[in-house]
Amino acid sequence: MARPAAGMTRCADDKWPSGLPARSAEVISAAGQPVRNAEVIKLPPMNDLAGKHILLGLTGGIACYKSAELCRGLVKEGATVQVVMTAASEQFITPVTMQALSMRPVYSSQWDAREANNMPHINLSRQADAILIAPCSADFMARLVHGAADELLSLMCLARPIDRVPLLIAPAMNREMWAHPATQRNMRQLAADGATILGVGSGFQACGETGDGRMLEPHELLEDLVAFFQPKLLAGRKVVITAGPTFEALDPIRGITNHSSGKMGFAIARAARAAGADVALIAGPVSLATPRGVRRLDVQSARDMLAATQAEVPQADVFIASAAVADWRPLTHSDQKIKKDASGAPTVAFAENPDILATVARSERAQSGKLFCVGFAAESHDLVKHAKAKRERKGIPLLVGNIGPLTFGQDDNQMLLVDAQGVVELPRASKAECARQLIAEIARRMTP
Ligand SMILES: Cc1cc2nc3c(=O)[nH]c(=O)nc-3n(C[C@H](O)[C@H](O)[C@H](O)COP(=O)(O)O)c2cc1C
């Protein structure tokens, strides 16, 4: 294996996790066995925007009420936030609210004498890692297109160092305003001038009409912003990911399944998209929101998952099998609920399910290196031994091992990377961070 990246440690065959796991010394016994009911130490809050300084611009629209939550979300993710408001936006939300949430005085006038040089448009724009206008009114888009500079926010956008401070726009307006050729033309021009248009949502609008033009929800804008800052390690690549459990029906009411929340696979899909990949996420039955910009295909059984995977992988560069696929399914399926009666418990015979990862790994594209295959092993004990054996059995270049009971349903994980050169342990981290590290490890191993 290539030299471990910073923060990773090589791992002896018989010792995993090495050192003190971040969750608690009691969670793993000396023999590497998970211990039930152990006290779990909470990890610090996720901070995907740590170190980023975001200039949040508000313009005149009803969606200003969402900007308060957006501001809170940015701060929670570790960003520092400087709010700048147009006069019209102050009709919708007060600077008091935005100051309290951002913990900084709000700016709204280019004549603000708080700055020693009286040039907030210069000073604020040079401190920012990005300017995010949310909501962005139709009027403000038009003004940006023309390089207007008659009030602080537009002046600041014009005066920003264009190569260093990206401008992201979250439009928000009535559906007719959004669909108007003038707005659409302005949007195209702004994109041509280098701005990133984050798109709009669709649905019920404050005016009572229904259609396109709503501002994206705060959590969607946050996801887009976090993705925006990620290096585009998989630009131009197609990635197929399986996630969650499969469900093997016995009758319309019952079936067997595996323990899996799907959180790890969904985090990987999110990280792959943030890295610039075109992502297809094949999901078993889970109740998780689809990551932004990811194409999701919902399936139930292992055989459904195999069919969906086989349809997707011929165009893919990477296949990541993170789903917990049920090894067996009931041999027979009853169309009606099997009733409990005096005859006692039914005997259920099982058939073996197809091995999705092994099937894909045997394909000509995987064998020739055109399709990079990654597997997952969730074990309860002897992780290093089982993970190494599974990688060899499946014939894949990279396998991720984790302790099942310490990851199921959690928001954090600790992963072990196994390849032909050996075993590397990644530090315990949020699943979002684990996913980003895995994507970086995959990108590092792929042929250009
Ligand atoms: C109640 C009300 C709601 C409005 N909502 C929006 C809106 O959602 N989007 C929009 O582009 N304009 C909306 N407008 C119009 C803008 O506030 C108006 O164009 C204003 O001049 C924008 O100024 P600004 O771009 O400097 O913030 C609304 C106006 C009113 C009176």
What would the pLDDT profile of 116-161 be if each residue is shown by its tens digit?
999 999 999 999 999 999 999 999 999 999 999 999 999 999 999 9
Is a pLDDT exceeding 50 seen at residue 63? Answer: yes
Which of 137, 155, 215 has the most ligand 1 atoms within 8 A of CB, as the residue to mutate?
137
Question: Domain 53-228 is classified in which CATH homologous superfamily?
Answer: Flavin prenyltransferase-like (3.40.50.1950)
223: left (phi over 0), alpha (psi -120 to 50) or beta: alpha
Is a pLDDT exceeding 50 seen at residue 40? Answer: no
Q: What is the DSSP letter of 218?
A: H
- Catalytic residue (one of 11, 64, 207, 373): 207
Q: What is the DSSP letter of 381?
A: S
Give how far Cα 260 sits from Cα of 17, 240, 326, Å. 21, 18, 11
The pLDDT tens digits of the residues spanning 177-225 come to 999 999 999 999 999 999 999 999 988 888 888 888 999 999 999 999 9
pLDDT of residue 381: 81
Q: What is the CA radius of gyration of the chain?
A: 25
Q: To 10 degrees, the CA torsion angle through 240, 245, 246, 251?
A: -160
Spacing, Cα 91 to ligand 1 middle (Å):
9
Spacing, Cα 57 to ligand 1 middle (Å):
14
Is-same-fold flag (9-42+232-330+352-445; 53-228)?
Answer: yes
For the entire predicted model, the pTM comes to 0.85
3-state SS, 235-249, equals CCCEEEEEECECEEE
What confidence tier does 38 reach under pLDDT thresholds 50, 70, 90? very low
373 in active site: no
Ligand 1 and 137: CB distance under 6 A? yes
Q: Which two tokens stand for residue 85?
A: 């408001």
CA of 60, closest atom in ligand 1: 27
Spacing, Cα 138 to ligand 1 middle (Å):
8
Ligand 1 and 142: CB distance under 6 A? no
CATH code for the structural domain at 9-42+232-330+352-445: 3.40.50.10300
Domain ranges of the chain: 9-42+232-330+352-445, 53-228
Is a pLDDT exceeding 50 seen at residue 18? Answer: no
pLDDT of residue 8: 52
Q: Which two tokens stand for residue 291?
A: 């990551």
**Cα torsion 300, 269, 294, 211: sign:** positive
Q: How far apart are the first and last CA of the chain?
A: 18
Spacing, Cα 119 to ligand 1 middle (Å):
27
Spacing, Cα 137 to ligand 1 middle (Å):
6
> Is the distance from CB of 241 to CB of 320 less than 8 angstroms?
yes
Is a pLDDT exceeding 60 seen at residue 9? Answer: no
Pick from 414, 419, 256, 225: nearest CA to 327: 256
> Is the distance from CB of 268 to CB of 262 less than 8 angstroms?
no
What confidence tier does 79 reach under pLDDT thresholds 50, 70, 90? very high
Whose C-alpha lies nearest to ligand 1, atom 18? 60
pLDDT of residue 5: 52
The pLDDT tens digits of the residues spanning 301-343 come to 999 999 999 999 999 999 999 999 999 999 999 999 999 998 8
Ligand 1 and 173: CB distance under 6 A? yes
Whose C-alpha lies nearest to ligand 1, atom 10? 137
